Amino acid sequence: MRGTRIRGLMQAMLRVGVIGFGGGNALIPVMEKEFVTKKPYVTKEEYDEAVLAASITPGALPVEIACGIGRKYGRACMLLAASLVALPGAVATVALLAMMEHIDEQTIRWLSVFTKAV
The fraction of the chain above a pLDDT of 90, given in percent, is 56
Q: Is the pLDDT of residue 64 over 60?
A: yes
**Which sign, positive or negative, has the C-alpha torsion 19, 94, 117, 113?**
negative
Residues 72-104: tens digit of each pLDDT: 999 999 999 999 999 998 898 898 888 888 888
Q: Is the pLDDT of residue 61 over 80?
A: yes
Residues 3-21: tens digit of each pLDDT: 888 999 999 999 999 888 6
Backbone phi, psi, residue 5, to 5°? -65, -45
Higher pLDDT pick, 64 / 5: 64
Cα–Cα distance, 17 to 1 (Å, whole number): 25
Cα 90 to Cα 13, 22, 24: the distances in Å are: 15, 10, 14
Q: Is the pLDDT of residue 111 over 90?
A: no
Q: Is the pLDDT of residue 27 over 80?
A: yes
Mean pLDDT of 105-115: 78
